[in-house]
A and B are shown apart, each in its own frame.
Chain A
C-alpha cells in the first residue's frame, strides 16, 4: 500500500497528502507524444541507468514498470493511487514508471514530458516532498542533459509547465467548508492568486467525499521556494478556516452533527449494497466524526485507505475480476463492512 495511504502525516485532520511533481525533458529529443517505440525505449533506458547508476541511497529498491506489461486493472489502480495520470495509463507503447517500495517516489517516463519526478507524502509536508524531488532531479541531471533555456527555464511539452516545471499540490478533506458553502469563496479567491482548488473525485462541482486538491498554477517567473511558500500559506489558511467552522458547528449544531456522523457510520457498517457517490459521502462524514472525537473505533488512516479501496480499480484488483455495476456495489459494501 502506498505510503500516503498507510500513514497519517502532519495536519492529518485535514491534509491527506502532499505532492510535488517536477517536469523535465531530455535535450535534443522530440517530446513523448512525437516518439516512436524505439526512441521511447532509448529514453527509458537512459533515465533508468541515470537513476540506478547514480550514487544515492534513496534509490534503493526501485522497480521499473513498463506500462505495456501491466494489465488494465492494475493500470487503473495506479491512477487511483494518484501515482500515474489516466493519459499515462493509456500509453502502453512508450510509457514506464520507476517506483520505490512505499510508492512515495515515482519517476514517470514518457508521460506528457520525458521525465516527471513525483514525490507523494502523507499529510502536510510540501517541503519534504520538494527536497526529495530536488535530490532526484540533481541525481538524474548528473547523467542526462536537460532541455533548458535561460529565459524559459526547463522546456516542457505544454507551456503551462515552463520555468520551474513544478506542480505542487495538497489533497485536503474539507467537509465543513463544503457543507456551509464557504468553499466557493475559497475557490474564487485562490484563483486570483494563481492557485487552483478543485475536486479530486467526481466531475464538475460535486466534490465527491469533500476531497479537494489545492495546487499552484504559475510555474514561470517564480522560484521553487516562492511556489512552496505561497501554497503553504494558502494551505494553512484553508486549514484554519476548516478547523474554525468544524469547531463552531460542533458547538452550535452538536446534535445535527452527531446525528449525521452516527447515521453515516451505521449505514457503512451495515449496508449490503452501496454506490461510490454515497460511500464517499458517508466516509467523509465518519472522518469528520473521528476528528471531532465523536467516533473512536475508526482511524483516519483506515478511512483514507477505504476511500481509495472502494474505487473501481482497487475493487477489481482485490477481487481479481472485472465487476459488473451491480457486483461493484455489493463488493464495495462488503469491503467497507470488513474494514470499518
Chain B
C-alpha cells in the first residue's frame, strides 16, 4: 500500500478518523505520519512523554502512544508496541519498518550500527566488493598523503575496475 500523502513510500501507519459521523481512512508512511502529527497536535509538556523508554527518546511527537500502536510491519503484522513489549521483532522486514526507531537502540547496545563481520557467500558478492573498494579508497588517501603517486594510480585503477564490476551486478 502506498502513502496517501507523498504517494511514494510504503504506508506503515493506518488510521481511522471519525469526523462529524464521517469515517475517513488514512494510510501514511513513517515520514508523513510524523509530519501530520506535529501539525495536528498542540504541543503539551507531559512527564510521561519524558519518561518513555530509550526507544522513543529521539522521537519528537505527542501522539506517541497512538502512533506507536498502529505503526505496523506489513509483512508479518507486528506492531511497534508489540515489539516494545516483547523485545522481539516479527520478521526480517520489521528491521526496515522500525529502522528509524531501532537505530538509537542499536547504538546504545552495540555502540555502532554498521555490520563489519562475516557476509553470506550466496547474497554477499557485491558486499565483498564494496568493502574492498572502501579499503582501497582509504589506501588511496594514504598514498596521496605520502605523495606515493605511482601507488595511488594503481589503487585508483583497481577501484575503477571493482566499481564497474559492482555496477554490472
List residues of A whose CB falls within 8 A of some B CB.
Answer: 25, 27-31, 33-34, 112, 134, 137-138, 141, 145-155, 157-160, 162-164, 166, 194, 217-224
Subset of 9 A-B contacts with CB under 8 Å: A31-B88, A34-B76, A149-B92, A158-B87, A164-B118, A220-B113, A220-B115, A221-B112, A221-B114
Smallest beta-carbon distance B74→chain A, Å: 12
Q: How far is the CA of A175 from the CA of B10 in the complex (A)?
A: 57
Smallest beta-carbon distance B90→chain A, Å: 5
Does B32 belong to the interface (CB within 8 Å)?
Answer: no
Which residues between 39 and 57 of chain B lie within 8 Å of chain A, taking CB atoms? none
Smallest beta-carbon distance B134→chain A, Å: 12
List residues of B whose CB falls within 8 A of some A CB.
Answer: 75-76, 78, 86-92, 95, 102, 105-106, 109-124, 127, 130
B78, B95, B119, B127: which contacts A34 (Cβ < 8 A)?
A: B78
Smallest beta-carbon distance B41→chain A, Å: 29
Main SS at interface, chain B: loop
Residue in A25, A29, A166, A220 whose Cβ sees the most chain B Cβ within 10 Å: A220
Q: How far is the CA of A331 from the CA of B118 in the complex (A)?
A: 48
Are A223 and B116 CB-contacts (below 8 A) given A159-B109, A194-B111, A217-B109?
yes
A164 touches B92 (CB 8 A): no
Residues on the B chain within 8 Å of A162, using CB: 95, 106, 110, 115
B92, B106, B120: which contacts A220 (Cβ < 8 A)?
A: B106
Smallest beta-carbon distance B72→chain A, Å: 13
Top 4 A-B pairs, shortest CB-CB distance: A221-B112, A153-B115, A147-B92, A164-B117
A221 touches B88 (CB 8 A): no
Smallest beta-carbon distance B56→chain A, Å: 15
A159 touches B89 (CB 8 A): yes
Residue in A34, A141, A158 whose Cβ sees the most chain B Cβ within 10 Å: A34
